[in-house]
Structure 1
Amino acid sequence: MISQLSWKIGGQQGEGVESTDRIFSTALNRLGYYLYGYRHFSSRIKGGHTNNKIRISTKPMLAISDDLDILVAFDQESIDLNAHELRPGGVVVADAKFNPVLPEGINARLFPVPITSIAEDLGTSLMKNMVASGASWALLGLPIDVFNKAVEEEFGRKGAAIVEKNIEAVKRGADFVLELAGGPLEDFQLEPADGKQKLFMIGNEAIGLGAVAGGCRLMSAYPITPASEIMEYLIKKLPKFGGTVIQTEDEIAAVTMAIGANYAGVRTMTASAGPGLSLMMEAIGLAGMTETPLVIVDTQRGGPSTGLPTKQEQSDLNAMVYGTHGEIPKIVIAPASLEDCFYDTIESFNLSEEYQVPVILMTDLQLSLGKQSCDELDLNKVPISRGKLVRELPELETNQLFKRYELTEDGVSPRVIPGDKNGIHHVTGVEHDETGRPSESSINRKKMMDKRLGKLDGMYIRDAVRADAPYDTPDLLVIGMGSTGGTIDEARIRLEKDGVKTNHITIRQIHPFPTELVKPYLQSATKVVVLENNATGQLADQVKLHAGYAEKISNLLKYDGNPFLPSEVHKACKELV
């Protein structure tokens, strides 16, 4: 028996690839397996090749596998594009309708199944996804009742007759392939999972869940790939807690509405991708100048301009750190896992109110849209903190204003909700004094700038630098951010077998840069490689700028729209040392 397996389904966008993957993975999750998925899709509603790949394991893992065990193909293009990933002895379950052929040199077993014909016999070709699912599930020898339960959950709202037809489609696909193969494939039998049901969601859903748990009650946003699922999740959830989602006319309206709502005391967020973040830049400066809490999620994708809307990239780092005109304090956090997406979202709301600054949660498409398993989340792990929000204020003298921007030792001023008694003050985007009145005094300007820019001195988030560093003097230090952590860890296992002593750190606090936390790891390593999905080495530049050791640092860059594979990282790192 084997402890892990990789499964992929491919076809034309709009013909059931997504629903097939969803039901297949849901059933596996019911059995207690750990799953890690990645979706390759086109930037259009229908047509164009799409595929979903799932890695199934008895143990946690956070990376796409290099190879492939089973490929389910709805067309020849899916075989031609993906067969090279098949390991020797791998399996292709293909629709017999298009007379499938394996490319030359591919050592795999081909099982042509009349997927479309079976579905049409049952009344509609739309059920071919269930036929295909049943066939591949049967080859693994997994209990069919668990799969049928997932089918019931998927189609139950459409009535018992539809459920029964889909279950019959599953059965016929399974029966046909088992007769063709002579039974379940012995070399593809998975070891039993622990049986414990796990959370199974995409990163965007974890962010949405974190927003609800963190007290967010309003989201203003404009749909954009790959951020839209956050809005879609919160549309369903926020009304249950007295909140709402407003779809605005554009990202400028979204961010300014979020600023206004936060000023009014409501925890509010917005989410977008690179193009939307560009439109928000002026308003981010307004939040910085008025010291209004603001939480923005940037789900990075291929750029610039429209770029590659549905592909992986990590190229917005410089925009997040430097994008606004003038100089304001801001915090940029990069979650590295599903759990981070949840906890960091709660913490982003806390930080934005504690320091009264914009906080940008930086994810990437692989993390935002990749579906993965995680164990139960702890709702009490990140307590709610509203910082210096004052609700009861002392009486003011006649014509005296509240010092909303009071010069304090830590740079953070008391904050009030508009309408609170004795809290009246001015709010403006121009430079101002402690009460908010516009001021062009050079003395006041310097004091206010120092106040704002100094409030983040020494600020570190939880796990600002996450380290797996078993060696005091490693041959190699690998640095990553976002979704790359699991891939680096798998590459490290192979490097260890090659005799290369390797440490790994994931930088999660991008700005302000955690210089003092990073330096010791750089100092102790013989060589350093910074891995990132962009063309210019933006994270590496931050490391060099703030922590030094440029002479040790090499770039490992990938910007073709695809995430790193463990084999790519292993090969590049081995060549480096």
Structure 2
Amino acid sequence: MISQLSWKIGGQQGEGVESTDRIFSTALNRLGYYLYGYRHFSSRIKGGHTNNKIRISTKPIRAISDDLDILVAFDQESIDLNAGELRAGGVVVADAKFSPTIPEGIEARLFAVPITAIAEELGTSLMKNMVASGASWALLGLPLEVFNKAVEEEFGRKGPAVVEKNVQAVKRGAEFVLEQAGGPLEQFKLESADGKQKLFMIGNEALGLGAIAAGCRLMSAYPITPASEIMEYLIKKLPKFGGTVVQTEDEIAAATMAIGANYAGVRTMTASAGPGLSLMMESIGLSGMTETPLVIVDTQRGGPSTGLPTKQEQSDINALIYGTHGEIPKVVLAPSTIEECFYDMVEAFNVAEVYQVPVIVATDLQLSLGKQSCEPLDYGRIRIERGKLQTGELPEREPNKLFPRYEFSEDGISPRVLPGAMNGIHHVTGVEHDQEGKPSESADNRRKMMEKRMGKLDSLRITDAVKADAPHEAPDLVVVAMGSTGGTVDEARLRLAQEGMAINHVTVRQLHPFPSDLLEPHLRKAKKVVVLENNATGQLANLIKMNVGCHDKIESLLKYDGTPFLPSEIEKACREMR
């Protein structure tokens, strides 16, 4: 029996690949297995090769597998593009309709199943994805009733007749392949899972859920890959909590609407990707100048311009930190797990209100769209902090005196009041202003206001601003990373540890203000530092050099072809850099 297995389905976009993956993985989740998914798809509605890969394990996993055990193919292109991942003894389940062949040199067993023909016999070729699912599920020897339950959940809204047809499609696919194979394949027999209920979601769903838990009741946004799922999730969920989603005409409107709603006292967010973030820059500056809370999610993707809108990249770091003109206080967070996506959203809203600043939560495509298992969330950890928001009765002001909205204070944070509050009237403007918000070009006032704003984040450290797994006092290497790459680094470390290599792993979760004091001790004791990131110029490495130093120790491990790192790639690079 085996403890883990990798399964992939490929075909043309719009052919049912996504729904097949969803039902297959949902059924596995019901059995209690840990799952980690990767979705490769084209930047168009229909057509173009797409594939979904799922890693199945009896233990927690946070990385894509290097190899592949089972490939389900709807066309020859899917075999040609993905067969190279198949390990010796792997299996291809393909539609007999296109007379499938396995490329020369690939040691894999082919099951040509009349997937389309069976589906058409049952009434429609649309059910071929269920035939294929049943065939590959049967090879694992897992209980068919669990899969049928997932089918019922997927198609139940369409009525019992549709459910029954799809159940029959699953059954026919299973029967055909089992007859060919002579029963379930022993080499794919998985050990029993723990049976414990686990959450199974993409990072975007966790971000949306975290926003709701944080008290967000309005999202203003414009659809863009890979951020749209946050909007789609909240469209369904926010109305249940008295909130709503507004689809704006563009990202400029989305950001300014969010600023206006936050000014009025409603916790509001927006979300986008690189191109949308570019359009928001002036608004982010307005948030900083007016000291109005603002929460933005940036789901990084391949750039520049339209770039690779459906592919992995971590190249917005410089834009996130330095994109706005002028200088404002700003916070940039980078969650690295599904759980952190949830908890970091709560912290983002709290930081935005307590410090009265824009907060950007930066994910990447793999973390945003890669579906994976997640331990139950602890809602008892949720705390809502609104900082210096004045909600009680305000004292009367002296004649001709307004509320000191931008009052100079020891910590740089001024009292805040909601519009319409008695005795709370004040000016709000994007130009430089005095303590009451009135425009001012006084050199002395300008200096004091800049120092007030820029100084209020000096001591900010979010929860686990730098997350370290550092068991070695004098490591051969320290690998520094961010975002979705953490699990991949850890898997490579485990393999290298068997060769006697001592490697510490540090994840930077607060990109700005940069937590130099927390990162420096880890770098100083390392012989060499490897900074791993999905971009071409080493933006995280340059950030570390600027804030910490250690130039002579730092080497970059970069990948910018649109695909996530594999454990084997990190393993090979670390071995060479040792």
Q: Does 1:513 align with 2:514?
A: yes
Alpha-carbon separation, structure 2, partners of 1:461 and 1:338: 17
Whole-angstrom distance in 2 between the partners of 1:382 and 1:451: 29
Distance in 1 (CA, whole Å) between partners of 2:371 and 2:508 is: 22
**Would the aligned equivalents of 2:288 and 2:357 in 1 still touch at CA under 8 Å?**
yes
Q: Distance in 2 between matches of 1:374 and 1:273?
A: 24
Match in the other structure for 1:525? 526
| 2:308 counterpart residue number | 308
Matched to 1:224, the amino acid is I
Amino acid at match of 1:520: P
Secondary structure of the 1:26 match is helix
Whole-Å separation in 1 of the counterparts to 2:364 and 2:256: 24
The separation in 1 between residues aligned to 2:557 and 2:45, in whole angstroms, is 33
Q: Which amino acid aligns with 1:255?
A: A
Q: Tell me if the contact between 2:62 and 2:488 (Cα under 8 Å) persists in the aligned partners.
A: yes
SS in structure 2 at match of 1:146: helix
**Preserved CA contact (<8 Å) 2:10 2:52:** yes
Q: Distance in 2 between matches of 1:352 and 1:211?
A: 13
Deviates more, 1:489-498 or 1:349-358: 489-498
Partner letter of residue 488 of structure 2? T
**1:411 is matched with which residue?**
412
1:221 aligns with 221
Write the mapping of 1:71-110 to structure 2, written as runs, cut at 5 A: 71-110=71-110
Distance 1:2 1:127 in 2: 31
* Number of the residue aligned with 1:440: 441
Write the deviation string for residues 308-343 of structure 1: whole angstroms up to 9, x where unpaired: 000000000000000000000000000000000000
> 1:269 offset after TM fit, Å?
0.2
Q: Report 1:232-243 matches (<5 A).
A: 232-243=232-243
> Hey, what's the Cα distance between the residues in 2 that align with 1:144 and 1:416?
59
- Determine what percentage of the aligned residue pairs are the same residue: 79
- C-alpha separation between the residues in 1 aligned to 2:380 and 2:419? 30
* 2:381 matched residue in structure 1: 381
Aligned counterparts, 1:149-548, within 5 A: 149-392=149-392, 393-548=394-549
Secondary structure of the residue aligned to 1:551 is coil
CA distance in 1, matches of 2:114, 2:64: 30
Deviation at 1:382, TM superposition (A): 2.9
1:461-503 residue CA offsets vs partner (Å, 9 max, x unmatched)? 0010010000011000000000000000001011111211100
Matched residue type, 2:432: E
CA displacement, residues 480-532 of structure 1 (integer Å, 9 cap, x when unaligned) = 00000000000101111121110000000000000000000000000000000
Give the AA of the match of 2:189: Q
**1:5 CA displacement:** 0.4
- Cα separation, 1, equivalents of 2:521 and 2:12: 50
Partners of 1:452 and 1:147 in 2: how far apart?
56
Query: Normalising by structure 2, what TM-score?
Result: 1.00
Give the Å deviation of 1:394.
1.1
What SS is found at the alignment partner of 1:513? coil
1:426-449, Cα deviation, whole Å (9 max, x unpaired)? 000000000000000100000000
* Per-residue Cα deviation, 1:221-278 (whole angstroms, up to 9, x for no partner): 0000000000000000111111000000000000000000000000000000000000
Task: Return the letter of the residue paired with 1:3.
Answer: S
Q: Secondary structure at the match of 1:550?
A: coil
CA distance in 2, matches of 1:383, 1:394: 29
Distance in 1 between residues matched to 2:541 and 2:304, nearest whole Å: 20
For residues 413 and 379 of structure 1, the distance between their equivalents in structure 2, rounded to whole angstroms, comes to: 30
TM-score, structure 1 as length reference: 1.00
Q: For the residues of structure 1 that align with 2:353 and 2:273, how far apart are their CA atoms?
A: 23
SS at match of 1:563: coil
Deviations 1:67-89 (A, max 9, x none): 00000000000000000000100
Distance 2:363 2:146 in 1: 33
TM-fit CA distance, 1:396 = 1.1
Output the CA distance in 1 between the equivalents of 2:401 and 2:239: 40
Contact kept, 8 Å, 2:203 with 2:371, in 1: the verdict is: yes
Shift of 1:128: 0.2
Contact 2:213 2:382 in 1 (8 A): no
CA deviation after TM superposition for structure 1 residue 125, in Å: 0.2
Q: What's the CA shift string for 1:112-133, capped at 9, x where partnerless?
A: 0000000000000000000000
- State the alpha-carbon separation in 2 of the partners of residues 262 and 470 from structure 1: 43
Taking the aligned partners of 2:35 and 2:500, their CA distance within structure 1 comes to 30
Post-superposition offset of 1:397: 1.6
CA distance in 2, matches of 1:498, 1:414: 58
Structure 2 Cα separation of the partners of residues 376 and 496 of structure 1: 30
Q: Report 1:109-120 matches (<5 A).
A: 109-120=109-120
Q: Which amino acid aligns with 1:366?
A: Q
SS of 1:277's partner is: helix
Aligned AA for 2:371?
A: K
Distance 1:141 1:198 in 2: 22
Distance 1:403 1:216 in 2: 27
> In 1, Cα distance between the equivalents of 2:470 and 2:530?
14
**After superposition, what is the alpha-carbon deviation per residue over 1:275-298, rounded to whole angstroms, capped at 9, x for unaligned?**
000000001000000000000000
Structure 2 distance, partners of 1:332, 1:19, is: 34
| CA displacement 1:396-433 (0-9 Å, x = unmatched) | 12221000001000000010000011100000000000
Contact 2:9–2:71 under 8 Å retained in 1: yes
Tell me how far apart the structure 2 counterparts of residues 478 and 349 of structure 1 sit (CA, whole Å): 30
Q: Distance in 1 between matches of 2:236 and 2:399?
A: 48
What secondary structure, in the 3-state scheme, does the structure 2 residue paired with 1:162 have?
helix
Which is further off, 555-564 or 380-389?
Answer: 380-389
SS in 2 for 1:32: coil
**Alignment partner, residue 139 of structure 2:** 139
After TM superposition, the structure 1 stretch with the greater mean CA deviation from structure 2, 280-289 or 376-385, is 376-385
The Cα of 1:27 is off from its aligned counterpart by 0.2
Unaligned runs of 5+ in 1: none
Alignment of 1:55-66 (within 5 A): 55-66=55-66
**In 2: Cα distance, 1:493 partner to 1:52 partner:** 26
Work out the CA distance in 1 between the residues paired with 2:473 and 2:460: 26
User: C-alpha distance in 1, partners of 2:315/2:22?
Assistant: 29
Q: Tell me the equivalent position of 1:14.
A: 14
Offset at residue 63 of structure 1 (A): 0.4
Q: Does 1:67 align with 2:67?
A: yes
The alignment partner of 1:554 has SS state of strand
- Measure the CA separation in 1 of the matches of 2:216 and 2:38: 28
Q: Which residue of 1 aligns with 2:570?
A: 569
Structure 1: how far apart are the matches of 2:240 and 2:183? 48
- Partners of 2:520 and 2:548 within 8 A in 1: yes
Residue 557 of structure 2 corresponds to 556
Structure 1 outlier segments of 4+, above 3 Å: none
Secondary structure of the residue that 1:534 maps to in structure 2? coil
- Read off the aligned partner of 1:402 and give its amino acid letter: F
Letter in 2 for 1:115: I
Give the partner amino acid of 2:490: D
Stretches of structure 2 that go unaligned for 5 or more consecutive residues are: none
